[in-house]
Amino acid sequence: MYSSSMSYTRRIVDQELDELFPEVAALALDGPKAVGKTTTAEQRVDSLVTLDSKAVRAPIAADPEIVLRRPRPLLIDEWQKVPEVWDVVRRAVDDDPSGGQFLLTGSASPQDGVVQHSGAGRIGRLRMRPMTLSERGLVEPTVSLVELLNGRADVEGESAMALPDYVEEIVSSGFPGMRGLSRRARGFQLDSYLRNAVERDVPEQGLAVRRPEAMMAWLRAYASASSSTASYSQILDAATPGHSDKPARATAENYRQVLASLWLLDPVPAWSPTGSPMTRLGQAPKHQLADPALAARLLGLSVDSLLGGAGHPLRPEAGSMLGMLFESLATLCVRVAAQASEAEVVHLRTRNGDHEVDLAVVRPDGGVVGVEVKLAAAVDDSAGKHLRWLRDRLGHRFVDGLILTTGPTAYRRSDGLGVVPLALLGP
């Protein structure tokens, strides 16, 4: 297999690749830059084509069929640089559907209109996100999300992590290449990452940005809306403070779409359950950036300022910015584990705001694990009221309920809900 000489730290998505790639002819790994897609894919291929290199890209752009001459399993890295290779792979899979032939990695969706790349039923797609706490090797997880989804999970274990440790993990980033850096070097790299996204990646997506600082302001507005369902008008006002000539909604939507195409925005969709007794649910997504460290950096928040209570969210009533960023970190951990379990992650909020469940992990058959996220180390009975409400509404479809905390101990409460330190949650 093609791989570097450096030791490789397995990711949760490796479990999915182990199961799927031997039987699926082509798989695409989608996700933001620097998340580890190429390194992960390299572990299971015999050859590599890197389309980020102009020297490699030029002949393939002229004749995309060239890629088929390479030994397989073949990794095509940054495939969206020559989007025609998608159709080349799709046709090759039509001719030979045997498993384990192609891996494609991409840090952006292709520009609209460049290529029609359905590939449905031929090229599978997996999302790769930044490292979860369990992938960072800080604490051995003791509570399995897949077992919770199966309705037979033990909730026990001890964590040595406390609030300052979680704050450090929020700002430290889940991008593997930034994990070992000093605080100053990491800040420099995060700034560079954001600047390159705005100045290079956004124009490559076909959006001409006359003022890069304006796009950065939109990113900053989404960062301040982390873990909230802030409206378009709230985000607009945050992105253009004091501006009398606000951009048209179509322009703002173009900004949002291009940031999403770079996988920098990672909103949690609202739940619209079928066959459910619940009605009058809100439909607004909950905003999240790809990595809470990006949000913290955009807002100029450090460990000291977060622990000191600094930071001003778009909705002051939603709590401190630290609470919103801790929910971002929890959301990342839950989503990665849920994907490995073939489950979907959504959020739930009634239109009048009476009830809100931070995250709901939904099995394909409709079974639900409800999740509330609390910054506190200890929680009282009131912390589970929305989960109990959800349980009453769903009946047997409610499989389990979790309260994720910064505390030391995982345990079951008398009401049946699990209290789990975030560091102890694993796939």
DSSP characters over 22-43: TT-SEEEEE--TTSSHHHHHHT
Where residue 317 falls among pLDDT bands split at 50, 70, 90?
very low
Assess whether pLDDT exceeds 70 at residue 353.
Answer: yes
Whether the CB-CB separation of 133 and 329 falls below 8 Å is answered with yes
Averaged pLDDT, 123-141: 96
Give the residue from 357, 283, 339 showing the smallest Cα distance to 13.
Answer: 339
Please, where are the H alpha helices in 109-204? Answer: 145-149, 163-172, 183-196, 202-204
- Domains annotated for the chain, with CATH where assigned, are 12-127 (3.40.50.300), 143-426 (no CATH)
Give the lowest-confidence range in 139-148, 348-357, 361-370: 348-357
Averaged pLDDT, 236-265: 88
Task: Compute the distance between CA of residue 419 and CA of residue 222 in angstroms, rounded to an integer.
Answer: 30
Where residue 284 falls among pLDDT bands split at 50, 70, 90?
very high
Averaged pLDDT, 240-244: 83
Higher-pLDDT residue of 19, 282: 19
- Distances in Å between the alpha carbon of 139 and those of 166, 307, 423? 12, 22, 6
Q: What is the pLDDT of residue 314?
A: 53
Assess whether pLDDT exceeds 70 at residue 109.
Answer: yes
Mean pLDDT for all residues in the chain: 91
3-state secondary structure at position 157? strand
Task: Compute the distance between CA of residue 388 and CA of residue 370 in angstroms, rounded to an integer.
Answer: 9
Q: pTM of the predicted model, to two decimals?
A: 0.94
